[in-house]
Amino acid sequence: MEPIKIGWLGSCLDGPGGGYDKIHRLAFDQAVEAGVLDRPYEFVLHGEHGLPRGSAKNATDGFKYLVDEGCIGIAGAYSSDNAITCAPLANELRVPLISWAGTERLAGEYCFRLGNGDVGGDAALCVAWLARNGYTRVAVLSEISPNGEEYFRYFRQECRRRGISIAAVESVPQNPTNLAENLDHLRQVNADALAYMGYGMLAAQGHLRRALDELAWDPPRIMSTAFMWYLMGFDLFEGWVGIDQFDPSNVLAQKFHDAFVAKHGASPPMWPNAIPVLAYDTARVLTEGLFRAPILSGPGLKTGLESIRFMPSATGGPRTHIAGAPYEHGMFRGDWLLYGRVRNGKLEFEGLFEPWE
C-alpha cells in the first residue's frame, strides 16, 4: 500500500532526524504498534520561513508544496501570523491544518487548533494570577503584533472584570529601539506588578532580561504563553511567571519522556518543557484522526479529527483531554493552560487555574 503522507510546515524545528522529528515519529510508530494505523506513513518536512522574519508568501507556498506532494493533513503554521495567512488556503484546498496558534482568527472548516496558548485564555489567567496574589495595580508592556493586539484587548477586559487598575501601558514593536526606557516609564508609576502581553521575541532574544538588568528592576511579573519561549534558554526568563502547558504530575507526559529516552537514549530537547509534549500530542492527534477518517483524504481526515472525544492529553494538567466536533476545532479541554515560573535558571510548576467565584 502507498503510505499516508503527512506534512510538517515549519514544525520540524530541527529538520529530518532531529529531536522533534523523532517525537513525531515516536507517536506514529506507537500508533502502528497499537494497531491504530494499519498502513505505512510518510512525513514530508518543509521549512516555513514565514512571518514575522520571513514572508507570508513563504508560508503559503510551503503549504501548497505539501499539498502538491500528496499530504492529506498538515501540522504547522505555528505562529499566529502564519496561521492567519495559511487558514484560507487550508479551507480552499480542503486539507486540514493543525496549528499551535493562539489567535482566534485561525478559522474555517479545515483549521484545527492545538493551541500553544490562547489569546483570551492567556489574558484571563494572567489577571487571575494578579488578583490571587493581591496585585491591584499593574503596568503593562503591550507588544504591537497580531498576538499583542488581541492579548491587550482581552487583558483590559479581564482587568475591568476583576477590579484591577492598569496603571500604565507602554506599546512597543517587536524590535524596540530602547526597551529599557520603555520599562523605566512603567517602573516610575510604582505599580504592584508588571505584565507582558506579546508573542515573545522580546524575551526569547534576551531584550527583556537585559533591560530589566540594566534598570536593576525585579518586580513581580507575569507574561502570556510567550513564556514558553523558555526553550531558547531558561536564564532569559529568570523571575518571570508565565502561562505554561507542562505539568510534571501529568502521567502521560512522563510516559512520553520515558518512551523517548528508551528509544533514543536521551531526553527530548530542552527537557523539561512543554514544547516536546505538545509536539507529541500533535502527532498523536493526527494518528487518531486518521484512525477515525472514513476515507484517507483531506475531507476524510477532517471528519476523523471532528470525531475525537476525551482523548487523554500529555499537554497540560492530568485531567486535560482533547476533542473535536463539527465547527468546534479548538481541541484542548480542561486544564490545558497553567502557570510556570523560572527561578534560579530552572522551570518550576506554579500551579493550575483556581476558580475565583
**pLDDT digit string, tens, across residues 186-240:** 999 999 999 999 999 899 999 999 999 999 999 999 999 999 999 899 999 999 9
Statement to judge: residues 154 and 222 lie in one domain: yes
345 occurs within a structural domain: no
pLDDT score recorded for residue 11: 54
Compute CA distances 127 → 103, 136, 152, whole Å.
18, 10, 11
Residues of the chain with pLDDT under 70: 11-13
Domain boundary among 201, 221, 244: 244
pLDDT score recorded for residue 48: 86
β-bridge partners, 78: none
325 occurs within a structural domain: yes
pLDDT score recorded for residue 220: 98
H-assigned helices in 133-250: 146-162, 179-187, 201-204, 207-215
pLDDT score recorded for residue 170: 97
pLDDT score recorded for residue 49: 87
- 74, 49, 33, 67: which is closest to 289 by C-alpha? 74
Contact 75, 8 (CB under 8 A): yes
Domain boundary among 211, 244, 277: 244
Chain centre to alpha carbon of residue 223: 14
342 occurs within a structural domain: no
**pLDDT digit string, tens, across residues 35-83:** 999 999 999 999 888 887 789 999 999 999 999 999 999 999 998 889 9
Statement to judge: residues 222 and 166 lie in one domain: yes
CATH code of the domain in which 29 resides: 3.40.50.2300
Residues belonging to the chain: 357
For residues 100 and 62, what is the distance between their CA atoms, to the nearest angstrom?
17
pLDDT score recorded for residue 323: 98
217 occurs within a structural domain: yes
Statement to judge: residues 59 and 98 lie in one domain: yes
DSSP 8-state secondary structure symbol assigned to residue 35: T
Number of structural domains (the chain) is: 2
Statement to judge: residues 14 and 94 lie in one domain: yes
pLDDT score recorded for residue 79: 87
Statement to judge: residues 107 and 181 lie in one domain: no
For residues 192 and 19, what is the distance between their CA atoms, to the nearest angstrom?
41
272 occurs within a structural domain: yes
